[in-house]
A and B are shown apart, each in its own frame.
Chain A
């Protein structure tokens, strides 16, 4: 390890440990993910410092760039705010975890420390052709089987994710054409349902429109609101808007549409 590398190491190693500790202690999942990203990127730097440039680059691109983003995405999906209480609920879990971890570190490090490593060979010799070329030679001459077989893993991961996350279309697609065909065929609300009531003082989807005769019509209110019983009472508006023209805008029934669509 040259002086420069040593300096780098002493700068970046604490950073990595800090990042790791951040993962360990951060309250919020997002913070944890960001700490993790820090470790990942640092790791890439360390690889590069160790003459494993290709691996380092891939580490930063793929790991930090793709995998960590996937994590972040899921964290977002689950809820950014979902903070993790650090109060331990399992009795003794935390204490024992630290003790065991300490023991593990001690044992592992003692194991490593007991070893007398030979003088590092360095990669200069094998990487004469160039880092990537040498790596490629290694992969395709000696590790090709592993490389090939990894493909399976990718297929599996796709399949697995599909099974668990892919909403299969169970009904025919209801595109615009199909919808209008259906509407016409039903001979009902050919011109669309009435819009919710729009008043001077009040403008909301929960307010039913008034029919020409002044009676409110529930057809104008989204079905969901009706079901929830959140339709505003029309009586207080009825008098005021007696003379107002009622709108007759087409009704969009969101529920009906969204039902068949998967959110793939």
Chain B
């Protein structure tokens, strides 16, 4: 079935509407995945100082325990037929009124379990890493509590069986992200960054809420099963609205254009946080949401195109910003944004793209987390400096970091046989599928994006590890402790191997088939070998350019003036300036005006004038009480005359 011919009303041939069966056996304990890290967070937060000593370790154990439960569930699932791999765990009835009834229920299906694996495994690794990274922080316990809270929320997000429960996780990860970005909020800028992340996310959340409102008004339910079932009977308008609103939500969470502005600032958080939340897991939730809502997007090609367009824009946008950043974390953040753009593009392409999007999501989770941890390791050794212009030549002093980072670098570049090659290339290929203008635009965008990615990631890698040391005088870089390097190594192994383990073997595709169905194969508008060749060429060109500019040449320790584009890219392509001028300033003006209105017009005017005129009237009337008897007599006579006159007039 052709993707772009699909329209409302055509019966679905897909198998995506596999109905979930009640989980039994080990899977019925699936809620433990959420409960364990939640317990960890609760114990650490409520326990207070008493848990300072053993709390971080406890949290880490809880995280691993969640991973273990997840593994158990997957193990049980593999024993089931593909169609039966959708298990539901109903916990309790949560919201219920009138037609609305939402249970707190978990949906354990291949898609959610992929995410569970990614989240718990990478998350646990980062717990371990943090044991080292945060060792000397006075608020370490709180940090681990938040991490556990994040894991729990993220698992709620992916395990939810309805949009509303998903939303709990959705905002839960937002909260965790807020808390962790602002973890060092004694720095007001960091606190602002945290606020920004939360508020921008809220804009997306509004979309999600409204989407749910439309769903409820049209379908009468919010659980995936019902929505998926009734999607075909929804009107086009509703479908398009839901599709776009869900996309808005996804944009907020995944830092997609136009809600991307918060991600760069979010690097204020400790680096493990950036690795976990702002690279590997949370920011991919948008992709998950769209993939999860495939039933809706299948019915509304228009919305899907918008998804793809957003993905394409962000892809390039992130890439351009990434070229200009000198802050290692911000450059990585821009890269994340760009990579998620790829995923968005993929899910925007429809059923043929879902699997690749998820594939890239997983591999990206590994290599990006690995690189972030590497960056953290660098910062650990460089007294928390992040300016790449003062790095350079670190390959000699931080061997492990260097090599693990290199694995990630190669993976993201898409160099065969590293993981990125398998996942990203598939997306580029898929982007070339279709008819009309779309394959050309999306395909070449993806292609060029790959080239730019190669340039800026190489730039990052070379500026940091290669070339001459441009360290400040007080720096004595050193390798990080084992607790940090081991997770890096594990992630590097993933970056190297996940691609060919999951991709060519078809493991992931088969695993996800019950969810996404098996899309018919489509030929891209260009030959696949040609696409691969073009891609690799562009990647090589980008890397070479970077080699000459940032390894062979001298890198200035102060950023050069640069062109207008460079300047704009350094400022995130003026997104903050745009927000400042078009959102914050008007908003501030509005608030000022309203405060003034409230004070002057409503309280001072409506209320004040009323009371004031009452007092004035009182004074005026009181003046008639002038103490003269004759005056009083006159008012009486006047009254009488008026009364009699009134009677006269009345008759």
The residue in chain A whose Cβ has the minimal distance to the Cβ of B636 is A100
Some 17 contacts from A to B, beta carbons below 8 A apart, are A96-B634, A97-B634, A97-B637, A100-B634, A100-B637, A100-B638, A100-B641, A103-B641, A104-B637, A104-B640, A104-B641, A104-B644, A107-B644, A107-B645, A108-B644, A110-B648, A111-B648
A93 at the interface (CB under 8 A from B): yes
A90 at the interface (CB under 8 A from B): yes
B628 at the interface (CB under 8 A from A): yes
Q: Contact string, A83-104, partner B, CB cutoff 8 A, digits 1/0? A: 0000000100100110011011
Q: Contact string, A61-88, partner B, CB cutoff 8 A, digits 1/0? A: 0000000000000000000000000000
- B136: chain A residues at CB < 8 Å are none
How many residues of chain A get a CB closer than 8 Å to chain B's CBs? 12
Q: Contact string, B632-651, partner A, CB cutoff 8 A, digits 1/0? A: 00100110110011001000
Q: How far is the CA of A96 from the CA of B628 in the complex (A)?
A: 15
Q: How near does chain A come to B117, taking the closest CB pair, in angstroms? A: 97
- A93: chain B residues at CB < 8 Å are 628, 630-631, 634
The residue in chain B whose Cβ has the minimal distance to the Cβ of A102 is B641
Q: How far is the CA of A97 from the CA of B638 in the complex (A)?
A: 9
Q: How near does chain A come to B444, taking the closest CB pair, in angstroms? A: 94
Q: Contact: A101 with B630, CB < 8 Å?
A: no
Most chain B CB atoms below 10 A, which of A97, A107, A110: A107
The residue in chain A whose Cβ has the minimal distance to the Cβ of B646 is A107
Interface of B is mostly: helix
Q: How near does chain A come to B411, taking the closest CB pair, in angstroms? A: 100
Q: How far is the CA of A100 from the CA of B645 in the complex (A)?
A: 11
Q: How near does chain B come to A237, taking the closest CB pair, in angstroms? A: 56
Q: Contact: B648 with A90, CB < 8 Å?
A: no
Q: Contact: B644 with A90, CB < 8 Å?
A: no
- Looking at the complex, which one of A90, A107, A110, A111 makes contact with B641 (CB distance below 8 Å)? A107
Q: How far is the CA of A183 from the CA of B641 in the complex (A)?
A: 69
- B645: chain A residues at CB < 8 Å are 103, 107
The residue in chain A whose Cβ has the minimal distance to the Cβ of B648 is A107
- A100: chain B residues at CB < 8 Å are 634, 637-638, 641
Q: How far is the CA of A29 from the CA of B193 in the complex (A)?
A: 94
- B641: chain A residues at CB < 8 Å are 100, 103-104, 107
- Looking at the complex, which one of B628, B637, B638, B640 makes contact with A90 (CB distance below 8 Å)? B628
Most chain A CB atoms below 10 A, which of B628, B631, B644: B644
Q: Contact: B637 with A101, CB < 8 Å?
A: yes
Q: How far is the CA of A128 from the CA of B577 in the complex (A)?
A: 114
4 further interface pairs, Cβ-Cβ under 8 Å (given A97-B634, A104-B637, A107-B641): A93-B631, A97-B637, A103-B641, A104-B641
The residue in chain B whose Cβ has the minimal distance to the Cβ of A110 is B648
Q: Which of B613-641 contact A (CB under 8 A)?
A: 628, 630-631, 634, 637-638, 640-641
Q: How near does chain B come to A19, taking the closest CB pair, in angstroms? A: 22
- A96: chain B residues at CB < 8 Å are 634, 638
Q: How far is the CA of A107 from the CA of B642 in the complex (A)?
A: 10
- B648: chain A residues at CB < 8 Å are 107, 110-111
Q: How near does chain B come to A112, taking the closest CB pair, in angstroms? A: 12
The residue in chain A whose Cβ has the minimal distance to the Cβ of B651 is A114
- B634: chain A residues at CB < 8 Å are 93, 96-97, 100
State the 7 A-B residue pairs at the shortest beta-carbon distance, nearest first. Answer: A107-B644, A103-B641, A100-B637, A104-B641, A100-B641, A100-B638, A107-B645
- B630: chain A residues at CB < 8 Å are 90, 93
Q: How far is the CA of A104 from the CA of B639 in the complex (A)?
A: 10
